[in-house]
Amino acid sequence: MTLITVFVYFLFTALGLGLIHISQIYLKLSAHKKNMAVLAVSAENGIKQGFGYLAELVSEKAQPVVCAEEFYFWLREDTQAGNRRIAEEALGINLPLVVEGAAGDQIWRSSSDFSLNALSANENYFLADLKGTIASEGLLQNFRPKKKSSLDVSLKILAGHIPLAYFPFLIARDLDPDERQNFRQNRNILFVPSNKGLIFPAMNFSDDSVIPDDVDPLLKKALNIKIFSPEKLSRSELRAALGLEMVNEPVPEGVYLINNDTGLGGIYVQGDLDEMILAIASGFQVISFRRGTDTWLLKFDPTQFKTSFSTPSETRLFDRVPLGIIMVNGCIRSLGGGIINPSGSAEIVRDEALPCILQGVSLSIVSADQITLSSHLVHQGVKWLDGIPYLKDSSSELVIYANGRDFVEDTEKAGKILIDPNAPREIKIQAALSAKNSLELGGSQKTLVLAGGFQAGELALNENTLKILPDERLLENKLIPQNSPLSKSARLWTLSVRPLQWNEF
């Protein structure tokens, strides 16, 4: 009995000691797992703080900064060489950006750096697409292991004479801080966020030098003038480009399709237009111009290279397509989308948002005076769900620009875009609206749903609502503005910053 008792005592003692040892191992494993989980949180905190600081820098630099021409050209060459100086200039820091932090027994340290991923260069500006990495390391006090994580980041920066179409909201006028804050707090200005970019500066402000004073580059391009001179076009030079007698007399009022040895150019209109209607018919982009009792009708198919141009006296056919630039040296009293009725004439439609811009067509409508938008302007292939357009499948573009100066005489004009008081209560516009002086919403209790953006010296809502959806194609570099007005002076501006991929090590 004594031997059996000793044996049982020994057995239970061994089992107890074993269980105590196992529990200690389990506690150590649990503590290790807990510490490793805390380490992961610590490394994550480093990435979050690093990206948050980066986003804060981008937000602080959200306004387009004037860039001296000499410095712009140097920065362009430096970026083309693959250097990252443009990121340091845009963010106002030296790279790499190191951020350190601690909370309790957690310690983290992150380092952010960038390198050039791609460069889209134009003769007037360039877009630098930089790829960055936020590398983070997490530590715990009195714990030897470390945890590393990283986040790939995209940073896109514009430099030079930037196309105004890139700005979703730009007031080009000197404003004091209170006036800017009033815009930001205006409940009648709403933004529909894009899911393509985490940071997209909602409101931009600049001085009045950002919007150009003249449209000579667009005018000469529309007229197919290949030799550019710094002076404005004279009457005789303009008449020669239009195929008229080269004398120093005003151009007769009417609508002209540019056609010379280099091919078809754009459309030039001398005088005011009572109505301009955009429509789609049988695969053709149709543009109707009406002045009094006279009507001009332009139809072209970019896929078949077919164009017809009907004037009050004749119809001409071409096996080419025109440039999508329409220069109106006057005002446009009514611009909208419509249909082609059975008689072959265009008719504006106000009660329905019918597609009126053909897929793949790029149009720029420039007026020296005032443009009044009377109905919807939506693009083919764009779905509108719950009042929100989905632009990713669209390949067309529309730019509407009120310049505010006579193209030839250089006299001052209104330079205003007006939403017609009789327009639909909710008017849908997919375009970049640029006005030297102002964008104004007429009437009351109206909503302008603007898929694109606007740039003007002033915004007059008149208690109406402006809802803006920035064009996500610009963020992804899937759309490069073709014939948008360019900023008068060189600028440096951060277009977007967004996370790409999280990596664990």
pLDDT score at 143: 67
Q: Are 432 and 438 spatial neighbours (Cβ–Cβ below 8 Å)? A: no
At position 90, the amino acid (one-letter code) is A
Backbone angles phi, psi at 314, to 5 degrees: -160, 170
pLDDT score at 249: 86
pLDDT score at 362: 93
pLDDT score at 19: 59
DSSP state, residue 163: B
Instruction: Write out pLDDT tens, residues 475-503.
Output: 777 778 888 999 988 999 888 888 888 88
Q: Are 298 and 309 spatial neighbours (Cβ–Cβ below 8 Å)? A: yes
Q: Are 184 and 201 spatial neighbours (Cβ–Cβ below 8 Å)? A: no
pLDDT score at 32: 47
pLDDT score at 363: 95
pLDDT score at 27: 47
User: Is the peptide bond preceding residue 96 cis, with omega within 30 degrees of 0?
Assistant: yes
Successive 10-residue mean pLDDT values, the chain, 505 residues: 72 66 54 59 82 82 83 92 90 87 81 90 90 86 77 91 91 87 88 60 77 86 72 80 85 92 90 96 94 94 93 93 94 95 90 91 95 94 77 85 90 93 93 94 91 92 91 78 89 87 81
Q: Compute the Cα dihedral for 266, 268, 272, 274 and give only its sign.
A: negative
Other Cβ atoms within 10 Å of 177 Cβ, number:
7
Q: How far apart are CA 205 and CA 160, in angstroms?
A: 17
Token pair 């983070």 in the structure block, residue? 136
pLDDT score at 237: 83
Give 32-68 as a 3 state SS string: HHHHHHHHHHHHHHHHHHHHHHHHHHHHHCCCCEECC
Q: In 95-176, where does DSSP find H-type helix?
A: none
Q: In 61-205, where does DSSP find H-type helix?
A: 69-80, 85-91, 177-184
At 265, which helix (H) or strand (E)?
strand 263-270
